[in-house]
Amino acid sequence: MVRLEGERVVLRPLRQDELDAVLEARDRLGVGAPGDARARARLRRRLGRSGHLVRGHLDLGIEVDGRLIGEIQARRDPAQTLPPGVYELGIVVFDRADRGQGHGAEAVELLTRWLFERAGAARVQAGTAVDNAAMRRVLERLGFTCEGVMRAFAPEGPGRARADYALYAVTTATDRPVTEPPPPWPATPPAHGPVVLRAFTDEDAHLAVELGEDPYLAIIGSLPAHPTARQALDWTRRQPGQLAERQRFSFVIADAGSGTAVGAIGLGVEQRSEGRATAGYAVSPLHRGRGIATSALKALTAFAWTIPELHRVELYIEPWNTGSVRVAEAAGYRREGLLRSHQELGGTRRDMLLYAATRP
């Protein structure tokens, strides 16, 4: 029986008492053949063999902190018409709140490694919709290579066009870089003074609208200027995925009393193996001048020191941005120099002041 344990994720057999919940989640997400009684009965029998590679199927539950959050499967001949040694992966995380935390990436990494080391895999492949940018980045970060696009590959639902799928594959265990899952999301929200740092929710779309009134933020980030309601919501929904996709914690700066979103702040930890992280922050134009950014940066920096690998947090600030300079200095960051023509923003090379804080 297969059971795989990672840093935060456990892949384990599904229990009989979980099958109804799994089938319900599949129906809700449109996975499989909802409403087909015979297909549902076959699926129930297959899931009942979870944890064993039987008839070309290996089904495992994804568990985090004792909770079942999704499922992952590997398929080979005869379940799929594939040559010997070739496996295809499928994964689903049931609830949006559990996505973007790196759980799916760790699950794919665990199962792929097991297939190469224990199941005789010569090739592991996975397909995903071409517009599923989050999953494509996960696969690429894990060393999978995009081999092409399968046009009109999968039905998207009744009355909808069939979707194009990108095919990704890795061919040997040594093809894949050694990857580390991102650090865990903080169990206790970082806080300082009047602010608390928390995860984004759909209710924070108003913040994106407010931030979009600052034209500079459209130059340095992914939020368009003067976003529509749809664009604001899309941007808000992308933030929880930043940790898994870009190794970046993306927090709402919230008023500690009301919980209202008043800004955003992030900590990029993709260089934590070298002891470094980067920070960036933005406060809604409606809430500036109240010390919110300084309090948020102090909270973020204190959180950074809970990540053992980190010894330094850096800020890059354009010289004209005296407000941001005051925030950095008030939060204890020291100026270390001027980086001339450091990066291109809005089609122009920009100088950047380098500020940094080091582990106390």
Domain positions in the chain are 4-175, 191-358
Burial class of 106 by CB neighbour count within 10 A (0 to 12, 13 to 18, 19+):
buried
Residue 322: how many other CB atoms lie within 10 Å: 10
CATH architecture of 191-358: 3-Layer(aba) Sandwich (3.40)
Q: What is the pLDDT of residue 159?
A: 59
Residue 60: how many other CB atoms lie within 10 Å: 25
Tokens 């001339």 belong to 340
Q: Contact at 8 Å (CB) between 278 and 314? A: yes
Q: What is the pLDDT of residue 118?
A: 84
Helix (H, G, I), strand (E, B) or coil at 251: strand
Which residues are paired to 57 by β-bridges?
Answer: 54, 75
> Which of 3.40.50.10260, 1.20.1250.20, 3.20.20.100, 3.40.630.30 is the CATH number of 4-175?
3.40.630.30
- Write out the chain's pLDDT in tens, 360 residues: 889 988 789 999 988 888 888 888 877 877 655 556 676 677 777 777 888 888 788 999 999 888 999 999 999 987 678 898 899 999 999 988 888 888 899 999 999 999 988 888 999 999 998 888 888 988 988 889 999 999 888 766 555 678 889 999 999 755 555 456 789 999 999 999 999 999 999 999 999 999 999 999 988 888 889 999 999 998 998 898 888 777 899 999 999 999 999 999 999 998 898 899 999 999 999 999 999 999 999 999 999 999 999 999 999 999 999 999 999 999 999 999 999 999 888 888 999 999 999 999
Q: How far apart are CA 305 and CA 308, in angstroms?
A: 7
Q: How far apart are CA 112 and CA 110, in angstroms?
A: 6
Q: What is the pLDDT of residue 126?
A: 94
Q: What is the pLDDT of residue 173?
A: 56
- The residue among 38, 115, 39, 42 whose CA lies nearest residue 73 is 115
Q: What is the pLDDT of residue 174?
A: 55
Burial class of 40 by CB neighbour count within 10 A (0 to 12, 13 to 18, 19+):
middle
- 191-358 has the same fold as 4-175: yes
Q: What is the pTM of this model?
A: 0.59
H-assigned helices in 178-305: 205-211, 215-220, 229-238, 242-246, 292-304
